[in-house]
Structure 1
Amino acid sequence: MSGLEKGIDVAALVYAILFFPAPLFWLIVHPAIHFWRRFGNRSFWIAPPLWTASGTGLVLARHRIFAERVGRSPLSAIVGAGLVLLALYIGHHVHRQFGLRRLSGLPEMNPARYPGGVVSSGIYARVRHPRYLEYMLTFVGLALLTGAVGIFLLAILTILLYLIVAPLEERQLREHYGSEYEGYARAVPRFLPRLRRFVKTPTG
């Protein structure tokens, strides 16, 4: 294995440690959002043990994660790199449009202190959950780059988790913003952008 391939493996493992717990966190929070909001910012104290447990498990299982390889080829490397670059492009626009406070979920956990609103401009004019799309594309891209069965499994599980988390989040947004978010949701797809240009809706 070349130094580049080892580096990609390390990058894939680090990415999994940092971002795989994210949908697990929201899977805990969104179904009981009113309960967690009682604690305000203190609700985020559930994150450290979750990330620690997940990260420890991934580190301990790292040899199994990379033990088996499938489909590693120049074509898969090109496609994988393309998906990672696309994810970086999406992430750049998300970060430019939103600050760290909003991306960290503060308006959801503590709306009284950090009020939000329906955003239908920029990257959010193309898909409703570009941040989740970024995570999914990155995991799939890293799976193709490494060819590791374990990373493929993490990518599949990540996609499945976000397919559950996104509707839970949208239920909360519909409850909070009513017809404004309902109209946005009808106009903009959840994950996959339409080929035609987005017809602009009012911003919140």
Structure 2
Amino acid sequence: MDTVRYVLAYITVVFIPFVYVLWPLVHPFANYWRKINPKQIYGIFFLLLVATIFTLSHFVEFLIGTDYGFNLFLTIAGVSCWVVSTVIKSKRRKYLTVKILLGFPEVSKDGYPGKLLTEGIYSKIRHPRYLEMMVANIGSALVVNMLGVYIIVALLIPALYITILLEERELIDRFGDDYVEYSKSVPRFFLKIKFK
């Protein structure tokens, strides 16, 4: 179990931060990215990913920090988060294609403006992918139970929220009033519960 925890910790501290830093660079500059060949953009992003992983992998032990050890209760809670995340993923996968997931509408003239997703799970919450990521990362932190992973996940949640705000601004630019109306009727993350 310690090997599994360490591998999850490694992925969390070395790979995941890149994803959270990348998307805030994409959305505010989408108009600029569309002027460049998508292959070049993805090449730049790939090189940044490799450089980030290479750099952070030298500091893994420091980034992971104190290991609090295996905890059955936290592991059960973490696995429960993964189950919730997997359910969300299964419901959004039909609508969020790989091209959309990789940001093709944001960086390509051919993919622009794309299609406003309002069906299925997107009729209930606006950002199921980001909710899925948050819940999965919280689950990983609970299973891993290491100080550095808790800190990184805690920092990633507000970073993801900022990304969402930037993305919504870009979606308003792309879809105009359609997105504004959609955002008024569908919450960002959590289902609206109506009490009678």
Work out whether the TM-score is over 0.5.
Answer: yes
Q: Which amino acid aligns with 1:102?
A: I
Q: Which amino acid aligns with 1:28?
A: L
Is the Cα contact below 8 Å between 2:68 and 2:146 reproduced in 1? yes
Identity %: 27
* Uncovered stretches (5+) of structure 2, i.e. residues with no partner: none
Structure 1 CA distance for aligned equivalents of residues 129 and 149 of structure 2:
20
1:27 aligns with 2:24: yes
TM-score for the superposition, normalised by structure 2? 0.88
Please name the residue that 1:10 is paired with: 7
Query: Helix, strand or coil: the match of 1:20?
Result: helix
5 Å-filtered alignment, 1:84-123, equals 84-113=82-111, 115-123=113-121
Distance verdict in 2 for CA 1:71–1:8, change over 3 Å:
closer
Report which structure shows greater RCO (CA 8 Å, sep ≥6): 2
1:37 aligns with 2:34: yes
CA deviation vs aligned residue, 1:51-95 (integer Å, no higher than 9, x gap): 112212332222123330348532211111111121122222222
Structure 1 CA distance for aligned equivalents of residues 123 and 99 of structure 2:
21
Structure 1 CA distance for aligned equivalents of residues 97 and 181 of structure 2:
24
Query: Helix, strand or coil: the match of 2:181?
Result: helix
CA deviation vs aligned residue, 1:1-59 (integer Å, no higher than 9, x gap): xxx23213213423554433122111112222211110041322221122112212332
Is the Cα contact below 8 Å between 1:65 and 1:150 reproduced in 2? yes
Please name the residue that 1:202 is paired with: none
CA deviation vs aligned residue, 1:140-181 (integer Å, no higher than 9, x gap): 111111111111122112111111111111111111111111
Please name the residue that 2:76 is paired with: 78
> Which deviates further from its counterpart, 163-172 or 27-36?
27-36
Q: Which amino acid aligns with 1:36?
A: W
What is the aligned length?
193
